Structures are given as C-alpha cells and as structure tokens.
Amino acid sequence: MADQLRLMAVHAHPDDESSKGAATTAKYVAEGVDVLVVTCTGGERGSVLNPKMDRPEVWENMAEIRRAEMDAARAILGVEQAWLGFVDSGLPEGDPLPPLPEGCFALQDVEVAAGPLVRLIRQFRPHVITTYDEEGGYPHPDHIMTHKVSVAAFEAAGDPDRYPELGEPWQPLKLYYDIGFSRGKVTALHEAMLAAGLESPYQDWLKRWEDRPDKGPRITTRVECAEYFPVRDDALRAHATQIDPDGFWFHVPMRVQREAWPTEDYQLARSLVDSPTPETDLFAGVRDTVHAS
C-alpha cells in the first residue's frame, strides 16, 4: 500500500471527468495508479445538449440516465468513482439572473459541504488531488463551489482537530487546478487546422479572448497524454445527453490534436513536497516520498 500512488479528481457533474483531464486520468490508470473520480452532484438539472437525445422520456429521467452515463464513462476510463450526493444547482440564465434553487450544491455552507469530501480523502488517501480554479474553469455555480469545497477539504483532511468523526487524518501532498484551455492551446489548434486545409472551430474563441485574461501563464504542469485522447473521446461520447457526437468536441481530427497540443495542462496550487516547476508529472516530488515510506 505504501508504494501505491493514488490520484483523486474532484468534479462538479457527471461528464466533467470526461471533458477535463480525462486523458491524464486514463494515462495514470494505465501506469498502475489508483484513480478516484469524485462527482459532487448528480447533474439532475443538466440540459440535453445532444439533439438525438432530446426526448420527453430523457428529460423525465435525467438523474437516472446521467448516473448510467457516468457508470459507462467510468468503465471506459478505468477509474473508480464516488458521488458526494449534492443536488445540481443548474446554470442560471437571464438578466437579472434568477436565484439558485433552494437546497442546491452552490448554496451549501462550504464547511459543511467539505465534510463528505474530507471523509472520502481519508478513506481513499490520495497523494494528489485535481479540481478547478477559483473561477470554476468557467463560472458555473457548481464548478465554483467544487473549487471551494476541494480547497477546504485538502486543507482539513490532514488535521486531526477538524472533522474528527470522519476518519483518520490523511494529508494529500499536492493540489492542482485543471487548465483546460489557454490562449496558446487554442491558437495552436486553430493554426494547425488552417495548416491542414480545414475549417477551424476556434475563430470565435480567439476573438472572445481579446477581452478576457489568459490562463496560459498559470500553467505549471503539462502531462503528455495524447496517446489517451481516443479514450477521453470515448468517455465523452458515453455522456450521450450532454455530448453531441457530431458536435464541437470532435471537429478537430485526432492527428491534428496530438501534433498541435499533446498535453493536458494544470496549475500547481498547493504542494507539500519539493516539486520545482515546470513539471511533466502530477506526481513529481511525490514518487520518491511515497516509495521512501
């Protein structure tokens, strides 16, 4: 057990584990790392984003369907998976924005909501945790809450004076934020598509980036995982209500993706080991510590 590396990836909804860092988790599974995906909500208030699935019976059984989709994606990625049990907050739309639904995940007290994650950390004993940055990756209330709960649990899990009823303390060694898209990545993919004589789906993205900050400078860690991009895409397609197999995610040929940007990228947010950046491994600085123990 002392030599077994363990990675926990904390996500807001079923499908997030397949759209954010999935090739990384598949790579580490293939290398023998134990990987646990934690899903904070059931995705009950998700929309049907695949036109082929837009049927009344799908909307009526959204919670059950999304659980089945998650189970299929979990099997494809080869990960373990656990639900925190919170209720999806939905994505509020309109001007002004409507209030969030009573009892939803984003309205929970952070200290209370971190408890179930602290329990899981103490049970699974991850060395590394990945989650979202303070903006949630994008400003969905559940993603922002996932960030808050993940940081709180990372800091509390090793403290014997906090949540003493939730198991023996365990201190994860590193915390990362997923940086799914940076300006550099989008530019590289856009230019590679044009060079291949193909229409790029990223033109509008680049225009929008003129007025928004770029997270590229925050990247500390680039994990080479292009070999596992097909596994990621298969896991994405398993979330059939959320992912249109003919949609945006699949417009860039695999060859172009692998050549233009063969990594998934992260920001090292907390580290209790010596791990100089830039890194190419989420377990940099951890492997020697674990194996020495």
- Give the annotated binding-site residues for Zn(2+): 13, 16, 143
Q: How far apart are the first and last CA of the chain?
A: 10
Residue 278 corresponds to which amino acid? P
For the chain, give the secondary structure using H, E and C.
CCCCCEEEEEECCCCHHHHCCHHHHHHHHHCCCEEEEEEEECCCCCCCCCHHHCCHHHHHCHHHHHHHHHHHHHHHHCCEEEEEEECCCCCCCCCCCCCCCCCCHHHCCHHHHHHHHHHHHHHHCCCEEEECCCCCCCCCHHHHHHHHHHHHHHHHCCCCCCCHHHCCCCCCCEEEEEECCCHHHHHHHHHHHHHCCCCCCCHHHHHHHHHCCCCHHHCCEEEECHHHHHHHHHHHHHCCCCCCCCCHHHCCCHHHHHHHCCEEEEEEEEECCCCCCCECCCCCCCHHHHHHC
Annotated binding residues, written as ranges, equal 13, 16, 143
**Ramachandran region of residue 62, left (φ > 0), alpha (ψ -120 to 50) or beta?**
alpha
Q: Are 74 and 231 in contact (CB under 8 A)?
A: no
Could you tell me the two tokens for 160?
A: 């014997």
